[in-house]
Structure 1
Amino acid sequence: MNWRLKICFISFIFLFLFSISFFLLGLYLCLVNLTYFIEWEVLSLNSMNVVMTVLIDWMSSLFMSFVLFISSMVIFYSNDYMEGDVYKVRFILLVLMFVLSMMFLIISPNLISILLGWDGLGLISYLLVIYYQNFKSYNAGMLTVLSNRLGDVAFLLSIAWMLNYGSWNYVFYLDFMNDDFEAKIIAVFMIFAAMTKSAQIPFSSWLPAAMAAPTPVSALVHSSTLVTAGVYLMIRFNVLIMNMDLGKYLLFIGGMTMFMSGLGANFEFDLKKIIALSTLSQLGLMMSILSMGFLDLAFFHLLTHALFKALLFMCAGVYIHNLGDNQDIRYMGSMVYFFPLTSSCFMISNLALCGFPFLAGFYSKDLILEMCLLSNLNLISFIFYFFSTGLTACYTFRLIYYTMSGSFNTLSSGNMSDEGWFMLKGMFSMMFMAVIGGSLLSWVMFNTPSAINLPFYFKILALLVSLIGAWFGYQISQFDFSSDLYGFKFLFSFSFFGSMWFMPFISTRGVYIMPIYSGKNMLTSFDQGWCEYMGGQGIYKTFSNYSLLNQSYQNNYFKIYLLFFFIWLIVLFWI
């Protein structure tokens, strides 16, 4: 066993053992309804105390357990996926730093210590997105880091506003922030920061662009770490948001994100981008259910979604790895014959995403939709929830049709099989959790039995919408849009829906590139133009010219000066 493999294996063992420990701790804290608040005094100087605080309750323990479990499986999976990479150890260390930043964010009841994890996630995600050093990766990394920096600015401003309360430990003040102006400002800044980190409209364009990162990173980032940081922050600040009556804005933003990403995934042909847009759709679902005050449901869906989404990315990674880094689903087909085990995991994770009964996604998704039916929702929100659920099934079955059926469209000869030992073991562990994780978590989190009484047509509405969406996805996959030039008739519509409502163009050109160009024009016009002409360079040139003139007088007319001087002396002496 070489030293690179030893580092991967040691990292996997430690993360897996810590995951089991935190899971057992979370079970205990949940059953006895206990919370540990630990303060460590780092420095005491006169009357100033620098204190590191840690909040360990059932929610943070379970979330840390799931993050550590998924990251351990991702590192185990990376032994095969990153096998030919020279800098494999650098990759493992970046993933470990990424997980450590997420740990900081989860256990922190203090805005300063949250900022350490928050900025750590943003920086290391940039390093991971540009891991494959090419032009596309650099562009995607810059878009990712600039979008996240907008949220970081809001976070820093909320830290400044928290000084009005005398401390940055927000958990002490959430119940008392009722209707004052400072509390509303802090709540708005926190919503803005969570929107950028969880890629809600209009900051959604960086999430599909971040697919330039290696697939194991995508499995970690898009399941339980970076994109869920904003949702977790909203769960912690949910009391403040509901007190400030800002839930309706969050509901609209989450619903629009859910609808836009579900629609866009039906027009996408890049395998990783389809899965990224499905992540965006589920993030919109979590944000919108949070806006109604159901934070336990949002957290429940956050955990179950992390399980099957990590598995989905792992299966996609096997396909991409064996197809020579080809991600276009139009070149796939009949993958079940070449990868029977991987395709089984792929189908299970896809069905869990659709909310197939008794898989992980069913328990959280069905419960969320039934609570929406019980709530006092308006028609637009109702359409957002159920139409987006149908779109989820639609793009999932479209993806299944393109990858599993038809003929194989890539290479006429190739050595493809399920022989990646580390990949398969990592995927099987995730598949086991994607099957039983939903029921296990529902028994742990909702230990009080409760029944949701709805009419029959409401009770089967979620299942009916999913079935209609699946049928529709199958039908549009079989339809040939190229016949009779149908594609050109609807070219603008396809471009609009398939490019996330032109958000990547608006965000890159309008939000980021235009200020950079205006800054360049200001630099050339003022700093390198008028300011130089009227300032330092102008004064330098003026003195240089006068100096040259003086030098020319001295060089050219010195004899004349002597002649005139002698003439003046003679005249003076003669007089």
Structure 2
Amino acid sequence: MNNIKYSICFISFFFLFMMMMMNFLFMIYFIMNNMVILMEWEIISFNSINIVMSILLDWMSLLFMMFVFLISSVVIFYSKSYMSSELNLSRFIILVLLFVFSMMLLIISPNIISILLGWDGLGLVSYCLVIYYQNLKSYNAGMLTALSNRIGDVFILMVIAWMMNYGSWNYIFYLEFMNNDLEMVMISSMIILAAMTKSAQIPFSSWLPAAMAAPTPVSALVHSSTLVTAGVYLLIRFNLMLLDTFFLKLLLLLSGLTMFMAGISANYEFDLKKIIALSTLSQLGLMMSILSMGMPDLAFFHLLTHAMFKALLFMCAGVIIHMMNDMQDIRYMGGMSFYIPLTSLCMNISNMALCGIPFLAGFYSKDLILEMVSFSNLNLLIFFLYYFSTGLTMYYTFRLIMYLMINDYNLMSVYNLFDEDFIMLKSMFILLFMSVISGSFLSWMIFSYPYMIYLPLNLKMMVIYVSLIGGFMGYLISNMEIYSVNKFIKTYNLSNFLCLMWFLPNLSTYGINYYFLNFGQNLSKNIDLGWSELYSGWGMMKIVKKYSLIYYFFQSNNFKIYLYSFILWMLIMMLFLMIN
């Protein structure tokens, strides 16, 4: 049985890794020859509308597929050890492969109908993966994830309906239609809203930290390169269609606030996986905001570099959680650098890449984005949100490093931490190598022209200033003990607001369920019973009884009713006279 379990892991890993190598070679060839291949297969044709299955291969889709294949192959290899206690490992691997297949469909489709297939596939398979450990927390998180993503699916369906005005669903053809007609405004605004649900921007942010109920290898795949980046990728593909609408300006504000909110919440959080999830949310806000400013190539660049170090960060978290007897609270951890040095090395390098330490992967994309922001004609609020959020990234990263690496170990007096799981380490070292080199490799590869950025010294050094201040604050906060009780109670309400993601999880669960479901209870009862039940014998009797009570009340010789009906009749008469 064990051999079968391991062989499915190894075959999947080998297949995905080979696909990654093939995509890499194709991507080099395409980018050198400036090639694009568009293949179409007509499935059905009715009333001059063709439903076609189309595949678009250009350097962007090949490069993104290469990264997804690399991360998913490494994650499957990692799962061989991480999920070794799982009895039905092949089911888990097949779910992950289905997830990757849905993502492929989304990446290579220039057609909104085939995009819907991949988009919906991601939503459904992610639900299956989030509820994988079958307990109440997982079910709730899975429901929140699935229903939040359904909102985006509905917007994509509405886009399909609106695109019928043009006669084809292939969005490549509409990049010429830049006249500001109503259809295009509607389509672009719905695409933006759909992307906001998938990439968890405010007000749809609450599902992303909840999805941490999934197994850690799934978190590494979902929150680095697949599910959450689907919305960003959709907007990168549609970027020429996104007219300068009100929605694009709204997206800039909301994504800036998402970045800010996630950074603040991460500083109040003690769950290791949730801190990493909130940092993903912060980086997604960064990608979305630079996209809404009209720089899709920079957003794509950051998407790829971020995928590498974030997958590595989740894998390190998985190893640490395993070592700590499945404990995720960082207050129990500490001294990891003494006991598991190789995992700590991977963790620290991926954390530094996240912060944008020079010459690691995150530096190339993050620094370029912030310099382009300084270069742009923006108001102070957006500028503040960008730089403050960068400082907050450094803040929660340093806090995490202090709790994990430097503070004392707090779980048990007798413990056995060891760094000898070589399957996990091999997979982590592949991503460690990519986290170091992918930034420079991509910046030379995908920009056919260098960005020429000429800024005054203080603006050029601004990133370093906010990073140093953020890191210093993180160091101080992690060393501070909890304040005296009185002070703590005074700030309790504020800290409650900040650590609960500005009450977004409560608003998107109780806020939607409680009142609306109460309101719709009678309606749903009627629908459940069916119309035949409602309007046949028993239902009819109830309706007649209800109306007979009303008639009885009107005919009970009550003086108030006579007076009221007389006044009402007089008012109607006066109204008629005034009209005539």
* Structure-2-length-normalised TM-score: 0.90
The alpha-carbon distance between structure 1 residues 62 and 539, as it changes in their structure 2 partners (threshold 3 A), is same
CA deviation digits over 1:456-496, x for unaligned, max 9?
11111101111110001111111122434432110011100
The alpha-carbon distance between structure 1 residues 528 and 176, as it changes in their structure 2 partners (threshold 3 A), is closer
CA deviation digits over 1:144-183, x for unaligned, max 9?
0010011111110110000000000011012314200011
In structure 1, the residue matched to 2:195 is: 194
* Structure 2 counterpart SS, 1:53: strand
**Offset of residue 528 of structure 1:** 6.0
* Structure 1 counterpart SS, 2:502: coil
Q: How many angstroms apart in 2 are the aligned matches of 1:526 and 1:127?
A: 28
**Offset of residue 531 of structure 1:** 9.1
What aligned pairs does 1:227-376 form with structure 2 within 5 A after superposition? Answer: 227-244=228-245, 246-376=247-377
The residue identity in structure 2 corresponding to 1:90 is R
**Offset of residue 196 of structure 1:** 0.4
In structure 1, the residue matched to 2:107 is: 106
Q: How many angstroms apart in 2 are the aligned matches of 1:44 and 1:170?
A: 18
**Offset of residue 142 of structure 1:** 0.3
What aligned pairs does 1:39-58 form with structure 2 within 5 A after superposition? Answer: 39-42=40-43, 50-58=51-59
**Offset of residue 86 of structure 1:** 0.6
Residues 154 and 193, structure 1, Cα contact 8 Å, conserved in 2: yes
In structure 1, the residue matched to 2:523 is: 522
The alpha-carbon distance between structure 1 residues 541 and 182, as it changes in their structure 2 partners (threshold 3 A), is closer
The alpha-carbon distance between structure 1 residues 177 and 47, as it changes in their structure 2 partners (threshold 3 A), is closer
Residues 253 and 382, structure 2, Cα contact 8 Å, conserved in 1: yes
Q: How many angstroms apart in 1 are the aligned matches of 2:439 and 2:459?
A: 22
The alpha-carbon distance between structure 1 residues 166 and 399, as it changes in their structure 2 partners (threshold 3 A), is same
What aligned pairs does 1:119-130 form with structure 2 within 5 A after superposition? Answer: 119-130=120-131
In structure 2, the residue matched to 1:469 is: 470
The residue identity in structure 1 corresponding to 2:329 is D
What aligned pairs does 1:362-441 form with structure 2 within 5 A after superposition? Answer: 362-441=363-442
Tell me which moved more, 475-484 or 527-536: 527-536
Residues 352 and 434, structure 1, Cα contact 8 Å, conserved in 2: yes
In structure 2, the residue matched to 1:133 is: 134
The alpha-carbon distance between structure 1 residues 531 and 47, as it changes in their structure 2 partners (threshold 3 A), is closer
In structure 2, the residue matched to 1:556 is: none
Residues 178 and 243, structure 2, Cα contact 8 Å, conserved in 1: no
Q: How many angstroms apart in 1 are the aligned matches of 2:534 and 2:305?
A: 63
In structure 2, the residue matched to 1:454 is: 455
CA deviation digits over 1:476-520, x for unaligned, max 9?
111122434432110011100000000111110112343333332
**Offset of residue 49 of structure 1:** 5.1
Q: How many angstroms apart in 1 are the aligned matches of 2:396 and 2:85?
A: 33
The residue identity in structure 1 corresponding to 2:167 is G
What aligned pairs does 1:475-494 form with structure 2 within 5 A after superposition? Answer: 475-494=476-495
The alpha-carbon distance between structure 1 residues 460 and 48, as it changes in their structure 2 partners (threshold 3 A), is closer
Work out which of the two has the higher radius of gyration on C-alpha atoms and give 1 or 2. Answer: 1
The alpha-carbon distance between structure 1 residues 433 and 538, as it changes in their structure 2 partners (threshold 3 A), is closer
Tell me which moved more, 481-490 or 312-321: 481-490
Tell me which moved more, 393-402 or 514-523: 514-523
Q: How many angstroms apart in 2 are the aligned matches of 1:234 and 1:24?
A: 26
Structure 1 regions of 5+ residues with no counterpart? Answer: 543-575
In structure 1, the residue matched to 2:562 is: none
Matched, 1:180 2:174: no
Residues 75 and 220, structure 2, Cα contact 8 Å, conserved in 1: yes
In structure 2, the residue matched to 1:500 is: 501
Tell me which moved more, 47-56 or 413-422: 47-56
Percent of paired sites with the same residue = 62
* Structure-1-length-normalised TM-score: 0.91
The alpha-carbon distance between structure 1 residues 477 and 11, as it changes in their structure 2 partners (threshold 3 A), is same
Structure 2 regions of 5+ residues with no counterpart? Answer: 544-580
The alpha-carbon distance between structure 1 residues 172 and 419, as it changes in their structure 2 partners (threshold 3 A), is same
Matched, 1:29 2:35: no
Over the residues paired in the alignment, what is the CA RMSD in angstroms?
2.0
**Offset of residue 244 of structure 1:** 3.8
Q: How many angstroms apart in 2 are the aligned matches of 1:442 and 1:536?
A: 74
Tell me which moved more, 41-50 or 66-75: 41-50
